[in-house]
Structure 1
Amino acid sequence: MPIAKKKRSRQAPLTSKPLMSIGVITGACIASLTVTSPSTHAAEAARAYGGECGVGYVEIDSYHLSTGATAYLTFSSASGNNCVVTKRDTVGTALRLGAGVRRSGEPGSAHEDIGNYTSYAGPVYVYARYSCVDWGGYFNGLNKVIENDHCDRQA
Protein backbone atom coordinates (compact mmCIF):
# COMPACT_ATOMS: atom_id res chain seq x y z
CA MET A 1 0.00 0.00 0.00
CA PRO A 2 1.63 3.31 -1.05
CA ILE A 3 2.15 6.00 1.52
CA ALA A 4 0.27 9.20 0.78
CA LYS A 5 2.38 12.35 0.81
CA LYS A 6 1.31 15.95 1.02
CA LYS A 7 1.87 17.95 -2.14
CA ARG A 8 5.34 19.40 -2.09
CA SER A 9 7.35 21.54 -4.43
CA ARG A 10 10.43 19.71 -5.75
CA GLN A 11 13.53 21.13 -7.39
CA ALA A 12 16.90 19.61 -8.17
CA PRO A 13 18.42 17.86 -5.11
CA LEU A 14 21.34 19.38 -3.26
CA THR A 15 24.46 17.51 -4.32
CA SER A 16 27.28 19.59 -2.87
CA LYS A 17 26.53 18.75 0.79
CA PRO A 18 25.08 15.27 1.35
CA LEU A 19 23.15 15.25 4.61
CA MET A 20 24.64 12.08 6.06
CA SER A 21 28.24 13.00 5.25
CA ILE A 22 28.15 16.19 7.31
CA GLY A 23 28.58 15.54 11.02
CA VAL A 24 28.65 19.12 12.27
CA ILE A 25 26.23 21.98 12.31
CA THR A 26 26.68 24.37 9.39
CA GLY A 27 25.23 27.82 8.94
CA ALA A 28 24.27 30.40 11.49
CA CYS A 29 21.83 29.78 14.30
CA ILE A 30 18.99 32.25 14.42
CA ALA A 31 17.61 33.39 17.76
CA SER A 32 13.85 33.32 18.09
CA LEU A 33 11.29 34.97 20.32
CA THR A 34 8.56 32.78 21.79
CA VAL A 35 5.15 34.43 21.81
CA THR A 36 1.95 32.67 22.85
CA SER A 37 -0.73 33.31 20.26
CA PRO A 38 -3.12 31.35 18.04
CA SER A 39 -0.42 31.24 15.35
CA THR A 40 1.95 29.59 17.87
CA HIS A 41 -0.53 26.74 18.27
CA ALA A 42 -0.78 26.41 14.47
CA ALA A 43 3.02 26.23 14.22
CA GLU A 44 3.15 23.53 16.91
CA ALA A 45 0.52 21.51 15.03
CA ALA A 46 2.40 21.90 11.73
CA ARG A 47 5.64 20.83 13.42
CA ALA A 48 4.23 17.77 15.25
CA TYR A 49 4.93 14.33 13.79
CA GLY A 50 1.82 13.38 11.85
CA GLY A 51 2.34 9.83 10.65
CA GLU A 52 4.26 10.73 7.49
CA CYS A 53 6.24 7.46 7.72
CA GLY A 54 3.08 5.37 7.54
CA VAL A 55 1.07 2.96 9.67
CA GLY A 56 2.94 1.28 12.52
CA TYR A 57 5.77 3.81 12.83
CA VAL A 58 6.16 5.26 16.32
CA GLU A 59 8.09 8.45 17.04
CA ILE A 60 11.14 7.57 19.16
CA ASP A 61 13.14 10.80 18.93
CA SER A 62 13.12 14.30 17.51
CA TYR A 63 15.47 17.24 17.19
CA HIS A 64 14.33 20.84 16.66
CA LEU A 65 16.52 22.82 14.29
CA SER A 66 16.67 26.46 15.42
CA THR A 67 16.12 27.59 11.84
CA GLY A 68 12.47 26.48 11.93
CA ALA A 69 12.06 22.72 11.41
CA THR A 70 12.09 19.47 13.38
CA ALA A 71 13.59 16.12 12.37
CA TYR A 72 11.65 13.05 13.59
CA LEU A 73 13.05 9.53 13.97
CA THR A 74 10.45 6.76 14.00
CA PHE A 75 10.59 2.96 14.24
CA SER A 76 8.36 0.11 13.11
CA SER A 77 8.68 -3.00 15.26
CA ALA A 78 6.81 -4.97 12.58
CA SER A 79 9.34 -4.22 9.81
CA GLY A 80 12.47 -3.32 11.80
CA ASN A 81 12.76 -0.12 9.78
CA ASN A 82 13.63 3.34 11.04
CA CYS A 83 12.17 6.32 9.22
CA VAL A 84 13.06 10.03 9.28
CA VAL A 85 11.05 13.06 8.21
CA THR A 86 11.97 16.71 8.70
CA LYS A 87 8.99 19.05 9.03
CA ARG A 88 8.96 22.82 8.83
CA ASP A 89 7.44 24.71 11.74
CA THR A 90 5.19 26.55 9.30
CA VAL A 91 4.18 25.68 5.76
CA GLY A 92 5.39 28.29 3.31
CA THR A 93 7.43 29.07 0.24
CA ALA A 94 9.56 26.14 -0.91
CA LEU A 95 12.94 26.19 0.86
CA ARG A 96 15.85 23.72 1.10
CA LEU A 97 14.82 20.93 3.48
CA GLY A 98 16.31 17.48 4.06
CA ALA A 99 15.97 14.21 5.98
CA GLY A 100 18.47 11.36 6.19
CA VAL A 101 19.06 8.03 7.93
CA ARG A 102 21.57 5.16 7.76
CA ARG A 103 22.85 2.26 9.83
CA SER A 104 25.82 3.55 11.86
CA GLY A 105 29.15 2.68 10.26
CA GLU A 106 27.54 1.74 6.93
CA PRO A 107 27.74 4.70 4.51
CA GLY A 108 26.21 2.55 1.76
CA SER A 109 22.97 2.23 3.73
CA ALA A 110 22.27 6.00 3.67
CA HIS A 111 18.91 7.22 2.42
CA GLU A 112 18.24 10.95 1.94
CA ASP A 113 15.61 13.28 0.65
CA ILE A 114 16.90 16.81 0.08
CA GLY A 115 15.11 19.39 -2.00
CA ASN A 116 13.04 22.55 -1.91
CA TYR A 117 9.82 21.76 -0.05
CA THR A 118 6.92 23.72 1.40
CA SER A 119 6.19 21.42 4.36
CA TYR A 120 8.41 18.34 4.89
CA ALA A 121 11.25 16.21 3.52
CA GLY A 122 11.15 12.42 3.57
CA PRO A 123 10.09 9.94 4.54
CA VAL A 124 13.36 8.03 4.22
CA TYR A 125 13.76 4.47 5.54
CA VAL A 126 16.51 2.06 6.55
CA TYR A 127 16.32 -1.43 8.00
CA ALA A 128 18.07 -1.14 11.37
CA ARG A 129 16.87 -3.91 13.67
CA TYR A 130 19.84 -4.82 15.92
CA SER A 131 21.73 -1.74 14.63
CA CYS A 132 22.50 1.81 15.71
CA VAL A 133 21.41 4.59 13.36
CA ASP A 134 22.77 7.94 12.25
CA TRP A 135 19.88 10.27 11.47
CA GLY A 136 19.16 13.94 11.04
CA GLY A 137 17.67 16.85 9.24
CA TYR A 138 18.56 19.97 7.31
CA PHE A 139 16.69 23.24 6.97
CA ASN A 140 17.60 26.72 5.86
CA GLY A 141 21.38 26.38 6.30
CA LEU A 142 21.44 24.24 9.46
CA ASN A 143 22.32 20.54 9.35
CA LYS A 144 22.15 18.24 12.38
CA VAL A 145 23.19 14.58 12.33
CA ILE A 146 22.90 12.42 15.45
CA GLU A 147 25.23 9.43 15.26
CA ASN A 148 25.25 5.96 16.89
CA ASP A 149 21.75 6.48 18.26
CA HIS A 150 18.95 4.14 19.36
CA CYS A 151 20.98 0.95 19.36
CA ASP A 152 18.34 -0.78 21.47
CA ARG A 153 15.67 -1.06 18.73
CA GLN A 154 15.52 -4.85 18.42
CA ALA A 155 11.92 -5.84 18.87
Structure 2
Amino acid sequence: MKLAQKIKEAAASKATVRLSSFAVSAALAACCLIAFPSNANAAERGAYNGACGAGYSVVNQQTVFSEGGLPAAKVYLTYSKATGKNCAVTVNAWDDSAWLFGVNLERSDNPDSYQSDYGTYRVYAGPVYVNAKGTCVNWGGQWRYQTAYRSNTNCG
Protein backbone atom coordinates (compact mmCIF):
# COMPACT_ATOMS: atom_id res chain seq x y z
CA MET A 1 0.00 0.00 0.00
CA LYS A 2 2.86 2.38 0.76
CA LEU A 3 4.40 1.75 -2.67
CA ALA A 4 1.10 2.57 -4.39
CA GLN A 5 0.85 5.78 -2.36
CA LYS A 6 4.41 6.81 -3.35
CA ILE A 7 3.66 6.17 -7.02
CA LYS A 8 0.55 8.40 -6.82
CA GLU A 9 2.52 11.15 -5.08
CA ALA A 10 5.31 10.97 -7.67
CA ALA A 11 2.79 11.15 -10.52
CA ALA A 12 1.06 14.14 -8.91
CA SER A 13 4.44 15.84 -8.38
CA LYS A 14 5.39 15.39 -12.07
CA ALA A 15 2.01 16.79 -13.14
CA THR A 16 2.57 19.84 -10.91
CA VAL A 17 6.05 20.40 -12.37
CA ARG A 18 4.68 20.11 -15.91
CA LEU A 19 1.85 22.50 -15.11
CA SER A 20 4.28 24.96 -13.46
CA SER A 21 6.62 24.81 -16.47
CA PHE A 22 3.69 25.42 -18.79
CA ALA A 23 2.51 28.38 -16.69
CA VAL A 24 5.98 29.95 -16.72
CA SER A 25 6.30 29.45 -20.50
CA ALA A 26 2.86 30.96 -21.09
CA ALA A 27 3.66 33.96 -18.89
CA LEU A 28 6.93 34.60 -20.74
CA ALA A 29 5.22 34.32 -24.12
CA ALA A 30 2.50 36.76 -23.05
CA CYS A 31 5.13 39.20 -21.78
CA CYS A 32 6.97 39.16 -25.08
CA LEU A 33 3.80 39.57 -27.13
CA ILE A 34 2.92 42.67 -25.16
CA ALA A 35 6.43 44.15 -25.18
CA PHE A 36 7.18 43.68 -28.88
CA PRO A 37 5.01 44.28 -31.95
CA SER A 38 4.13 41.35 -34.15
CA ASN A 39 6.20 40.87 -37.31
CA ALA A 40 3.11 41.20 -39.51
CA ASN A 41 2.25 44.62 -38.08
CA ALA A 42 5.86 45.75 -38.29
CA ALA A 43 6.01 44.79 -41.97
CA GLU A 44 2.84 46.77 -42.72
CA ARG A 45 3.99 49.82 -40.79
CA GLY A 46 7.43 49.72 -42.37
CA ALA A 47 6.20 49.65 -45.96
CA TYR A 48 7.22 52.49 -48.29
CA ASN A 49 4.59 55.20 -48.06
CA GLY A 50 5.19 57.29 -51.19
CA ALA A 51 6.53 60.21 -49.12
CA CYS A 52 9.02 61.22 -51.83
CA GLY A 53 6.20 62.02 -54.23
CA ALA A 54 5.04 61.05 -57.68
CA GLY A 55 7.64 59.69 -60.08
CA TYR A 56 9.95 58.29 -57.39
CA SER A 57 10.60 54.55 -57.35
CA VAL A 58 12.27 52.56 -54.58
CA VAL A 59 15.79 51.57 -55.72
CA ASN A 60 17.21 50.36 -52.40
CA GLN A 61 16.20 49.78 -48.80
CA GLN A 62 17.66 48.75 -45.47
CA THR A 63 16.35 47.91 -42.04
CA VAL A 64 17.18 49.64 -38.77
CA PHE A 65 16.99 47.01 -36.03
CA SER A 66 16.01 47.60 -32.40
CA GLU A 67 18.42 46.91 -29.56
CA GLY A 68 16.73 43.50 -29.32
CA GLY A 69 17.28 42.70 -33.00
CA LEU A 70 13.71 43.29 -34.22
CA PRO A 71 12.89 45.47 -37.25
CA ALA A 72 12.25 48.99 -35.91
CA ALA A 73 12.35 51.12 -39.08
CA LYS A 74 12.93 50.83 -42.81
CA VAL A 75 15.03 53.31 -44.76
CA TYR A 76 14.05 53.70 -48.39
CA LEU A 77 16.16 55.21 -51.16
CA THR A 78 14.15 56.28 -54.16
CA TYR A 79 15.02 57.79 -57.54
CA SER A 80 13.22 59.91 -60.10
CA LYS A 81 14.37 59.40 -63.69
CA ALA A 82 12.60 62.61 -64.66
CA THR A 83 14.49 64.83 -62.21
CA GLY A 84 17.69 62.83 -61.65
CA LYS A 85 17.17 63.20 -57.89
CA ASN A 86 17.42 60.64 -55.14
CA CYS A 87 15.15 60.82 -52.12
CA ALA A 88 15.40 59.05 -48.77
CA VAL A 89 12.84 58.45 -46.04
CA THR A 90 12.87 56.40 -42.80
CA VAL A 91 9.52 54.73 -42.02
CA ASN A 92 8.41 53.53 -38.58
CA ALA A 93 8.07 49.74 -38.42
CA TRP A 94 7.87 49.46 -34.62
CA ASP A 95 4.54 50.75 -33.32
CA ASP A 96 2.29 53.78 -33.42
CA SER A 97 4.26 55.76 -30.84
CA ALA A 98 6.43 58.79 -31.50
CA TRP A 99 10.15 57.96 -31.54
CA LEU A 100 13.39 59.65 -32.47
CA PHE A 101 13.75 59.06 -36.21
CA GLY A 102 16.28 60.28 -38.69
CA VAL A 103 17.23 60.05 -42.35
CA ASN A 104 20.24 61.37 -44.27
CA LEU A 105 21.37 61.45 -47.87
CA GLU A 106 24.33 62.90 -49.75
CA ARG A 107 26.29 62.52 -52.95
CA SER A 108 29.33 60.33 -52.32
CA ASP A 109 31.54 62.81 -54.17
CA ASN A 110 30.24 65.91 -52.38
CA PRO A 111 29.85 66.00 -48.57
CA ASP A 112 28.45 69.54 -48.90
CA SER A 113 25.33 68.00 -50.46
CA TYR A 114 24.41 66.39 -47.11
CA GLN A 115 20.68 66.56 -46.33
CA SER A 116 19.03 65.22 -43.18
CA ASP A 117 15.86 65.23 -41.15
CA TYR A 118 15.93 64.21 -37.49
CA GLY A 119 13.18 64.56 -34.93
CA THR A 120 10.46 62.84 -32.96
CA TYR A 121 7.93 61.37 -35.40
CA ARG A 122 5.16 58.78 -35.39
CA VAL A 123 5.23 57.68 -39.04
CA TYR A 124 8.39 58.75 -40.87
CA ALA A 125 11.38 61.07 -41.09
CA GLY A 126 12.11 62.89 -44.33
CA PRO A 127 11.87 63.07 -47.19
CA VAL A 128 15.29 64.47 -48.07
CA TYR A 129 16.46 65.01 -51.66
CA VAL A 130 19.81 65.18 -53.47
CA ASN A 131 20.53 65.64 -57.16
CA ALA A 132 22.76 62.61 -57.73
CA LYS A 133 22.41 61.79 -61.40
CA GLY A 134 25.61 60.09 -62.58
CA THR A 135 27.12 59.63 -59.10
CA CYS A 136 26.90 57.38 -56.03
CA VAL A 137 25.10 58.23 -52.80
CA ASN A 138 25.61 57.73 -49.06
CA TRP A 139 22.37 57.28 -47.17
CA GLY A 140 20.96 55.96 -43.94
CA GLY A 141 18.47 56.22 -41.16
CA GLN A 142 18.04 56.14 -37.43
CA TRP A 143 15.50 54.82 -34.92
CA ARG A 144 16.22 55.90 -31.36
CA TYR A 145 19.97 55.21 -31.05
CA GLN A 146 20.19 52.46 -33.67
CA THR A 147 21.36 53.30 -37.18
CA ALA A 148 21.70 51.76 -40.62
CA TYR A 149 24.00 53.39 -43.17
CA ARG A 150 25.36 52.60 -46.63
CA SER A 151 28.08 54.33 -48.61
CA ASN A 152 28.77 54.57 -52.34
CA THR A 153 25.62 52.81 -53.54
CA ASN A 154 23.23 53.25 -56.41
CA CYS A 155 25.80 54.82 -58.69
CA GLY A 156 24.60 56.23 -61.98
Asked if TM exceeds 0.5, the reply is: yes
Query: Structure 1: which 5+ runs fail to align?
Result: 1-32
Verify the 8 A CA contact 2:74 2:90 in the aligned structure 1.
yes
Verify the 8 A CA contact 2:109 2:135 in the aligned structure 1.
no
Work out whether 1:49 is the aligned partner of 2:53.
no
Q: 1:110 aligns with which of 106, 110, 114?
A: 114
What TM-score, normalized to structure 1?
Answer: 0.70
Larger Rg: 2
Larger fraction in helix: 2
Q: In percent, how many aligned pairs have the same letter?
A: 38
Residue 120 of structure 1 corresponds to: 124
Residue 76 of structure 2 corresponds to: 72
Residue 129 of structure 1 corresponds to: 133
What TM-score, normalized to structure 2?
Answer: 0.70
Higher relative contact order (CA 8 A, sep 6+): 1
SS in 2 for 1:44: helix
Between the two proteins, the alignment pairs up a number of residues equal to 117
The separation in 1 between residues aligned to 2:95 and 2:112, in whole angstroms, is: 32
The separation in 2 between residues aligned to 1:144 and 1:47, in whole angstroms, is: 15
Please provide the CA RMSD for this pair: 1.9
- For 1:4-153, what aligned pairs fall within 5 Å after superposition? 39-67=38-66, 68-152=72-156
Deviation at 1:43, TM superposition (A): 2.3
Paired AA for residue 93 in structure 2: D
Alignment deviations for residues 31-56 of structure 1 (CA, whole Å, 9 cap, x no partner): xx89xxxx543321211112110000
The separation in 2 between residues aligned to 1:48 and 1:89, in whole angstroms, is: 8
The separation in 2 between residues aligned to 1:122 and 1:111, in whole angstroms, is: 10
Residue 25 of structure 1 corresponds to: none
Deviation at 1:143, TM superposition (A): 1.7
Deviation at 1:109, TM superposition (A): 0.2
User: Runs (4+) of structure 1 moved beyond 4 Å?
Assistant: none
